[in-house]
Amino acid sequence: MATDKNFWTAAPTRDPKRGFRFRVMIPGIDTNYIWYAKKADKPQVSFSEASHSYLNHTYYWPGRAEWNEVSVTMVDPVEPSLAGNMAALVTAAGYVIPKNTNEMSTMSKAGSSEPLGVVIIEQIDEGGEILEQWRLNNAWVKELTFGELDYSSDDLTELTIKFRYDWATLGGTVADGPLPVPSPFLMTLRSAVSGDTISGHPRPLTTTPKRNLDL
């Protein structure tokens, strides 16, 4: 007996995946920010190609894989300040403004990715169950955009983070692997920046976000 695999007839009352049901977790910053994600890219992978022509035909072979950069846009609250947390992460990565010619500190991949942790983007269903869980492996911050200020706008201030990473893995549920646990270094960094403790659970939206007209 044939099985009806048509979505609209086999499960007419089940919701498809929805673009607004998602959450972003960045272990290197305060867990409260899970509530503030506004927009996030899913990973994208492309493959280079090699070709060989013979007579009037061309043959192709897949080459190296390259994963695209992922951008996450978040609302920047007053406390804890996302801008402050990200600035601290950049400093922890080894970026130091040179004060003299004897300053020799430079950034490294380990220093950039380890404080950040494994960035996770989850798509969830109407009940909060995980449908997709993307993990960005060896991610580091390539670009930070701290938003803009505008007297004519009452929009919330946003901060955009662009991540570069080596590859992404896709899992269906949390059962595919444990969520990364912040290291003592990350807990110390978070406490120093936000003055908060790590409970493992995000707090409700009780803090005041920054506003573009507050300048």
Coil, helix or strand at residue 81: coil
How far is Cα 132 from Cα 176, in angstroms, rounded to an integer? 11
Provide the whole-model pTM: 0.72
- Half-sphere exposure of residue 73, counting CA atoms within 13 Å on the CB side? 7
Question: Going by C-beta distance under 8 Å and a sequence separation of 6 or more, which residues neighbour residue 75?
Answer: 36, 38, 82, 156, 157, 158, 159, 209
Nearest 5°: the CA angle 45, 46, 52 is 155
- Please give the biggest Cα pair distance in the chain: 78
* 16-194 belongs to CATH 3.10.260: no
Digits of tens for pLDDT over the chain (215 positions)?
Answer: 455 566 666 666 778 899 999 999 988 887 667 788 999 999 999 999 999 999 999 999 999 999 999 999 999 888 888 888 888 888 888 888 778 777 777 888 888 888 888 999 999 999 889 999 999 999 999 999 998 899 999 999 999 999 999 999 998 654 444 444 444 434 444 444 444 433 343 444 445 566 666 66
Segments making up each domain of the chain, as ranges: 16-194
How far is Cα 140 from Cα 137, in angstroms, rounded to an integer? 9
pLDDT at 81: 86
How far is Cα 64 from Cα 43, in angstroms, rounded to an integer? 16
User: For residues 183 and 198, is the Cβ–Cβ distance under 8 A?
Assistant: no
Q: Which residues of 58-89 are buried (b: 16+ CB within 10 A; e: fewer)?
A: eeeeeeeeebeebebbbbbbeebbbeebbebb
* Number of CB atoms found within 10 A of residue 147's CB: 19
How far is Cα 40 from Cα 136, in angstroms, rounded to an integer? 13
Tokens 């978040």 sit on residue: 74
